[in-house]
Amino acid sequence: MTNQELWQAVLAQIQLNISQANFATWFKNTEISHQKEGRILVLVPNSFVKEWLQNKYNKNIFKILHDLDCNIREVEYQIGKAKIEPKKEEMIMPETDQLEFQEFKVNKDTNLNPRYTFDTFVVGPFNELPHAAAVAVSKKPGIVYNPLFIYGGVGLGKTHLIQSIGNEIDSAFKKNKVRYISSEKFTSEVVSSIKNQTIEQFKAKYRDIDTLIIDDVQFLAGREKTQEEFFHVFNILYEKNKQIILSSDRPPRAINSLTERLRSRFEGGMIADVSAPDLETRMAILKTKAQEKGVEFGEEIYQYIASVIKNNIRELEGALNRLVIYENLNHKKPDMEATQTLFKNILSSQNRVVTPRKIIQVVADFYDLKEREILNASRKKEIVRPRQIAMFLLRQELKSSFPSIGRKFDGKDHTTAIHSYKKILREVETDKKLEEEIVLIKEQILAS
Ligand code: ADP
Ligand code: MG
């Protein structure tokens, strides 16, 4: 195996166990630069990543490498520029949730990935309705359902579906100007056009679009200026009967701090949700993907994988990749036993439950404190804040009652818990760093 193949194998496995956001944060622009006598040198883009990989991921990375090649005894991280950097304009960058190992050319005009089409989209009871709505919209853009709002959990095909509409319209209606954009990208366009005083150009660009597709609109939460600009764009297009397609991980009413007028706009058309696929559809998806990749693993193996991976189609694909890597490494197809070994980590991680104890442990760990320190009554600033965050998460993640949260922390009363919860809730809105920390803490809670 070349260094590149080796690192790809590591990344493929890591990707299965952490969120896309975390993956993009810590593993983008990394590579193995060389290996010698069992020592592997990994290039990382900066000291932040270096430290993080060393402290948080090294055990996993090492274990995967060692499983792949038992001669590997040590992994080191060094700051340096990865040579195989993807060319930006030609590929989908792993910005949001589109991290792929294969490279796909994105259409420069529409920003759509040609891979996402209705042909390759498997339909089952879990996505029948959004699929039907999507097909209808692609046949009569601007006429049937406007806006079309698709929501559902991570990895269930929202991006695939809304991009399929775009690709279909783009090829069937040559004059229809289609544009796909993620909400983060949209937000950064708003921010930079305000900064550069080019808001008029920004508006002109969007006024011109016939089919506007905006992905993951839950990220507009709390961004008032962006919402305001989006509201204008929305109205202009809507009044001209232009098609607007939106996706989100939750329904409009559940998006916090979305202005009321935008919420009612979102609710004004068709709302359809994608749920998790049933076993039969999971099998169908595995077989379809295998066929696309030109591989084949047999009914029994698919049965097994479809029975352990239930809630995420991206993970189903990841599982298939894992089988492919196994086959390449071992020059034979995995049998049932090998498959079970390959997926035993997934099984155990799916059974994880979040408990108050776990939340407190992870928060303590994250801020390098002892559990006792967080639970005690100390008023030291470096402890007060993590304690508030722990209380916040107990409320948010477990819906614990305020009195019960208070009691856990040295018998504080419920007002302290309420105060902490509200304080963090408020600060997260404006404090980017705090927001990031909380995202990372949540990841750790789920991963531990
Ligand atoms: P989401 O946007 O909901 O997080 P994606 O659209 O990115 O999910 O889907 C994750 C992966 O699973 C993609 O590679 C996509 O092609 C694939 N996928 C999702 N749903 C389906 C489906 N119904 N049929 C085939 N592939 C699917
Ligand atoms: Mg998506």
Which segment of 14-18, 219-223, 235-239 scores lowest on mean pLDDT? 14-18
Tell me the mean pLDDT in the region 176-189: 93
CA gap 241, 438 in Å, rounded: 41
Measured distance CA(321)–CA(302) in Å, rounded: 13
pTM: 0.61
Report the pLDDT value the prediction gives residue 19, as an integer from 0 to 100.
Answer: 66
Q: 301-350, pLDDT tens digit by residue? A: 999 999 988 888 988 888 888 888 888 777 889 999 888 887 876 655 55
Report whether residue 269 contacts ligand 1, using a CB cutoff of 6 Å. no
Q: Based on the domain organization, do 292 and 246 belong to the same domain?
A: no
Maximum C-alpha span of the chain: 67
Amino acid at 203: K
| 317 in the same domain as 288 | yes
Chosen domain end from 45, 79, 113 = 79
Q: Which residue owns the Cα nearest ligand 1 atom 14?
A: 314
117: left (phi over 0), alpha (psi -120 to 50) or beta: beta
Strands (E), 108-259: 148-152, 178-182, 211-215, 243-248
> Rounded CA gap, 77 and 49, in Å?
9
Mean pLDDT, range 136-151, rounded to an integer: 96
Residue 98 located in a structural domain: no
CATH no. for residue 167?
Answer: 3.40.50.300
Dihedral angle at the C-alpha atoms of 260, 265, 268, 274, nearest 10 degrees? -90
- Quick check: is 94 in a domain? no
Least confident of 48-57, 201-210, 280-289: 48-57
* Span 328-337, pLDDT tens digits: 777 889 999 8
Query: Quick one: 39 and 143 in the same domain?
Result: no
Report CA(79)–ligand 1 centroid distance (Å). Answer: 34
Residue 405: is it exposed, middle or buried by C-beta count within 10 angstroms (0-12/13-18/19+)?
Answer: buried
* 332 and 364 co-located in one domain: no
User: Which CATH number covers residue 64?
Assistant: 3.30.300.180
Is 125 a domain residue? yes
Q: Which of 126, 150, 125, 127 is nearest to 137 (CA)?
A: 150
Lowest-pLDDT choice from 98-107, 245-254, 256-265, 386-395 = 98-107
Counting atoms of ligand 1 from 1, which one is nearest the CA of 98? Answer: 7
8-state DSSP, 428: H
Backbone CA torsion sign across 414, 418, 423, 428: positive
Are residues 270 and 286 located together in one domain of the fold? no
Same domain, 60 and 147: no
* Domain count across the chain: 4
Give the separation between CA 383 and CA 370, rounded to whole angstroms: 10
**Does the beta carbon of 157 sit less than 6 angstroms from any atom of ligand 1?**
yes
CB of 329 within 8 A of CB of 9? yes
Please work out whether the CB of residue 265 comes within 6 Å of at least one atom of ligand 1.
no
> Do 322 and 252 have their domain in common?
no
pLDDT (average), residues 170-182: 96
Give the lowest-confidence range in 228-232, 291-295, 384-388: 291-295
Distance in angstroms (rounded) separating the CA atoms of residues 358 and 107: 45
Q: How far is the CA of 159 from the centre of ligand 2 (A)?
A: 4
Residue nearest ligand 1's atom 25 by CA? 121
- The domain boundary, picked from 351, 374, 393, lies at 351
Cα-flanking dihedrals φ and ψ of residue 99, to 5°? -65, 125
Average pLDDT of the segment spanning 179-205: 92
Q: Which residues is 152 bridged to in the sheet?
A: 274
3-class SS letters over 175-213: CCCEEEEEHHHHHHHHHHHHHCCCHHHHHHHHHCCCEEE
pLDDT band at 287 (very low <50, low <70, confident <90, very high): very high
pLDDT beyond 50 at 89: no
Q: Could you tell me the residue range of the domain that residue 294 belongs to?
A: 279-351
Residue 88 lies inside a defined structural domain of this protein: no
| Ligand with minimal distance to 153 CA | 1
Residue 379 sits in a domain whose CATH number is 1.10.1750.10
In whole angstroms, what is the distance from residue 442 CA to residue 384 CA?
19
Cα separation of 280 and 146, whole Å? 32
Residue 438's closest CA among 403, 399, 395?
A: 395
Residues 219 and 334 in one domain: no
Same domain, 245 and 339: no
Residue 109 and residue 173 in one domain: yes
Q: Which atom of ligand 1 is nearest to the CA of 281?
A: 23
Q: Does 417 map to a domain?
A: yes
Domain contains 335: yes
Closest approach atom of ligand 1 to CA 160: 6
Cα(358) to centroid(ligand 2), Å: 29
How far are the Cα atoms of 91, 121, 219, 412 from residue 256, in angstroms, in the given order?
32, 31, 10, 29
Amino acid 103: pLDDT: 42
Whether 391 maps to a domain, the answer reads: yes
Ligand 1 proximity of 99 Cβ (cutoff 6 Å):
no
Q: Is residue 87 part of a domain?
A: no
Residues 269 and 120 reside in one and the same domain? yes
In this structure, the answer to whether residues 69 and 122 fall within a common structural domain is no
Q: For residues 222-235, b (16+ Cβ closer than 10 Å) or e, as one string?
A: ebeebbebbeebbe
> Pick from 290, 322, 351: which residue ends a domain?
351
